[in-house]
């Protein structure tokens, strides 16, 4: 069986993992989840009790949740280093460092913005405070990431890697929440433009938009079927 990547829309961080599967170039399937609807239903807890995407169904039918666990799974299958680097190399260490930075503080900085947007009956003053606090944190994490970006074309070296995949799904939240202009961080803005022009990222964006372009993905599986076959 081919692995199945469960991805969320709209604007899921999982978009970057679809690009990563395309960079890997091995057959896989996708399962589309509406994060504002079906991901919140009790049935989805059989896939992830924390009601989050992404999730991966491995070829032997196990459910793997958490972005960094899924990137580790991809890395282990990337024998020719299409989206990573030789284990133990300085490039692999830097890739892991950047992925961890983006998946923790950088991504988490946006959480109060999502909460303020999605929570029902939230006090207006509390919502404004949450947005202010989050904006300061998002800007700080962007400042730190800008410092970490080198003169190389991608986060690590001259071709996209898993670090770029983890970044590209999340980086667009800056504009979505209207925190600041992306041009404020020129190195990051140039990197994002380069990635957004990458065929695999364009493929992932098209999939997210509901299109069905041709790629390494061999098809979609319905969420109900995935829950029934692989859920706990």
Ligand X SMILES: N[C@@H](CCC(=O)N[C@@H](CS)C(=O)NCC(=O)O)C(=O)O
Binding residues for ligand X, rule: CB under 6 A, are 8, 12-13, 35, 52-54, 66-67, 103
By the 8 A CB rule, do 30 and 207 touch?
A: yes
Residues 131-150: b if buried by 16+ CB within 10 A, e if exposed: beebbebbbebbeebeeebe
Q: Closest approach of Cβ 4 to ligand X, in Å?
A: 16
Q: Which is nearer to ligand X, 67 or 161 (CB)?
A: 67
Q: What is the 3-state secondary structure (H, E, C) of 82-100?
A: CCCCCCCCHHHHHHHHHHH
Q: Closest approach of Cβ 186 to ligand X, in Å?
A: 26
Q: Which is nearer to ligand X, 5 or 92 (CB)?
A: 5
Q: Closest approach of Cβ 69 to ligand X, in Å?
A: 8
Rounded to whole angstroms, how far apart are CA atoms 73 and 56?
9
Structure tokens at 9: 């829309």
Question: Using CA atoms in the order 40, 46, 52, 57, what is the torsion angle rounded to 10 degrees?
Answer: -140
Q: Which is nearer to ligand X, 34 or 159 (CB)?
A: 34
Q: Closest approach of Cβ 19 to ligand X, in Å?
A: 14
Q: How far is CA 118 from CA 9, 40, 45, 113, in A?
A: 15, 12, 20, 9
Q: Which is nearer to ligand X, 13 or 29 (CB)?
A: 13
By the 8 A CB rule, do 161 and 200 touch?
A: no
Q: Closest approach of Cβ 65 to ligand X, in Å?
A: 7
Q: Which is nearer to ligand X, 16 or 215 (CB)?
A: 16
């Amino acid at each position: 069986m081919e692995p199945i990547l469960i991805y969320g829309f709209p604007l899921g961080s999982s978009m970057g993992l679809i690009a990563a599967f395309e960079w890997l170039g091995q057959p896989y399937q996708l399962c589309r989840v509406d994060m504002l609807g079906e991901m919140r239903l009790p049935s989805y807890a059989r896939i992830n009790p924390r009601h989050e995407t992404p999730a991966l169904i491995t070829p032997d039918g196990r459910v793997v949740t958490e972005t960094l666990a899924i990137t580790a799974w991809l890395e282990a299958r990337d024998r020719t280093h299409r989206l990573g680097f030789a284990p133990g190399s300085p490039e692999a260490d830097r890739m892991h460092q950047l992925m961890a930075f983006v998946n923790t503080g950088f991504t988490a900085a946006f959480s109060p913005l999502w909460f303020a947007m999605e929570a029902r009956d939230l006090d207006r003053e509390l919502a404004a405070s949450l947005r202010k606090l989050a904006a300061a944190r998002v800007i700080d994490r962007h400042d730190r990431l800008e410092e970490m970006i080198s003169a190389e074309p991608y986060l690590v070296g001259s071709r996209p890697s898993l670090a770029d995949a983890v970044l590209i799904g999340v980086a667009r939240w800056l504009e979505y929440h209207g925190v600041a202009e992306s041009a404020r961080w020129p190195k990051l803005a140039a990197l994002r433009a380069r990635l957004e022009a990458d065929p695999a990222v364009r493929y992932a964006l098209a999939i997210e938009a509901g299109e069905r372009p041709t790629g390494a993905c061999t098809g979609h599986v319905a969420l109900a079927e995935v829950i029934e076959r692989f859920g706990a």
